[in-house]
Amino acid sequence: MLQAGMKAPAFSLPDQNGTIHTLEEYKGKKVVLYFYPKDNTPGCTKQACGFGELYPQFQEKGAVVIGVSKDSIASHKKFEEKFALPFTLLSDPELSCIQAYDVWQEKMNYGKASMGVVRTTYLINEEGIIEKAFGKVKAADNPAQMLSELQAGQPV
């Protein structure tokens, strides 16, 4: 996992509509970049819907939320439409961004080791530096946790 204080790796990936996004285009905004294993699974759905519900509050804080998984553009589009997700989902089937952010790791599932995305969330500041890094996050708690991190970092 990458650490706070490191420069966030650049990326160039398509979203659920096929539009290419880069980290550079978010300069000047805080970015909540979260990596999740798979669209339409219980934990990932809880996490995405949580970010969706709190999205207006993220926007008020000048932050964008971006989800990344190795699912296809078509899968992301169905996921977005099914749950009315208001934020960007990036498709990374080649694992370029997933590996750059060091979230492709060995996982144990029912005693069997396999490679997969470890649910991880990064808070990236306006200059593209990782401000906070959270590994093995709890899907249901992560959106509120990230919102409170944003609030903690802002003057009252």
Please identify every residue annotated as catalytic. 44
3-state helix, strand, coil in the chain (%, to 5): 30, 30, 35
Q: Is the dihedral of CA 15, 123, 148, 42 positive or negative?
A: positive
The values of phi and psi at residue 115, to 5°, are -85, 140
Whole-angstrom CA distances from 62 to 129, 143, 152, 154 are 16, 15, 14, 11
Q: If you count DSSP H runs as helices and E runs as strands, how many of each does the chain have, helices first?
A: 4, 9
